[in-house]
């Protein structure tokens, strides 16, 4: 194997593993959150009815609540590895491409902050941290959008990798739309759960583009620029 190609793959393989973690966790979290919200509402109504009728109370435990935590932690771990791996990837790139990857890395750091806010919101049952998480996530996606935009238009980034960056650019746009829906409409009772579910579907499509984009970058030949 060519040494340049081998070096490229050594730097991009950890990024791919990180993408698997945060994409799966991030894509499935909204679904688990939505189903947990519906489940909690139904359980609450059932227990209220039981209190009036003298019936047996329903357990408040929900598998969706547990999965919500699992997916959140997987996404957080994925972003941590992503940040470390992007820092290593920058060292083999042209200065301008390295700067673009730096913007993606900054966006990933902001995502960690957003997930920590989400974690605090779940821990203390307050909407304040959830709203903060959504706002920080939008800023993070915009930062990554700028980075991927520069990479897809770079003359020094490998040709196949530029195509991958184009997919990643599109994924960021879809992600901003998904987060925007949750931020603007997700607070509405009952309907909010449906909005979160729709946003989850959009996020799932976005993460598919993340898979495709980083797979293209990982499998690119650094010598082929056109």
Residue 44 pLDDT: 54
Residue 57 pLDDT: 45
How far apart are the C-alpha atoms of 165 and 170, rounded to whole Å? 9
Give the CA dihedral 20, 141, 91, 88, nearest 10 degrees.
-30
Contact 203, 165 (CB under 8 A): no
Confidence (pTM): 0.79
Residue 131 pLDDT: 82
Task: Say which residue the tokens 């003359």 belong to.
Answer: 155
Contact 217, 171 (CB under 8 A): no
* C-alpha radius of gyration, the chain, whole number: 20
Residue 218 pLDDT: 92
How far apart are the C-alpha atoms of 188 and 198, rounded to whole Å? 14
- Tens of pLDDT along the chain (226 residues) come to 567 788 898 899 999 999 988 888 877 876 777 676 666 655 555 445 545 565 554 444 567 777 888 888 888 889 899 999 999 999 999 899 999 999 999 999 998 898 888 778 777 767 788 788 888 988 999 999 999 999 999 988 999 999 999 999 999 999 899 888 887 887 777 777 788 788 878 988 998 999 999 999 999 988 877 6
Planar angle of CA 4, 218, 79, nearest 5 degrees? 120
Residue 104 pLDDT: 96
Strands (DSSP E) contained in the chain are none
Contact 165, 12 (CB under 8 A): no
CB atoms near residue 55 (< 10 Å): 11
How far apart are the C-alpha atoms of 149 and 146, rounded to whole Å? 5
* Distance in angstroms between the alpha carbons of the first and the last residue of the chain: 21
Residue 60 pLDDT: 47
């Amino acid at each position: 194997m060519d040494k340049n190609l081998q070096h490229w793959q050594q730097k991009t393989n950890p990024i791919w593993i990180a993408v698997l973690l945060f994409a799966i966790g991030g894509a499935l979290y909204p679904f688990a959150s939505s189903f947990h919200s519906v489940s909690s509402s139904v359980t609450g109504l059932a227990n209220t009815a039981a209190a009036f009728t003298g019936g047996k109370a329903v357990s408040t435990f929900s598998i969706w609540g547990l999965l919500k935590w699992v997916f959140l932690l997987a996404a957080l771990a994925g972003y941590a590895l992503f940040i470390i791996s992007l820092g290593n990837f920058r060292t083999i790139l042209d200065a301008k491409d390295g700067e673009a990857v730096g913007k993606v890395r900054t966006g990933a750091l902001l995502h960690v902050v957003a997930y920590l806010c989400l974690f605090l919101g779940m821990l203390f049952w307050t909407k304040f941290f959830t709203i903060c998480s959504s706002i920080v996530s939008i800023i993070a996606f915009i930062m990554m959008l700028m980075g991927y935009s520069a990479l897809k238009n770079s003359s020094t980034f490998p040709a196949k990798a530029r195509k991958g960056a184009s997919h990643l650019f599109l994924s960021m746009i879809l992600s901003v739309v998904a987060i925007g829906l949750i931020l603007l409409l997700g607070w509405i009772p009952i309907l909010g759960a449906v909005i979160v579910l729709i946003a989850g579907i959009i996020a799932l499509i976005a993460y598919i583009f993340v898979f495709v984009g980083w797979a293209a970058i990982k499998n690119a030949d650094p010598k082929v620029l056109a």
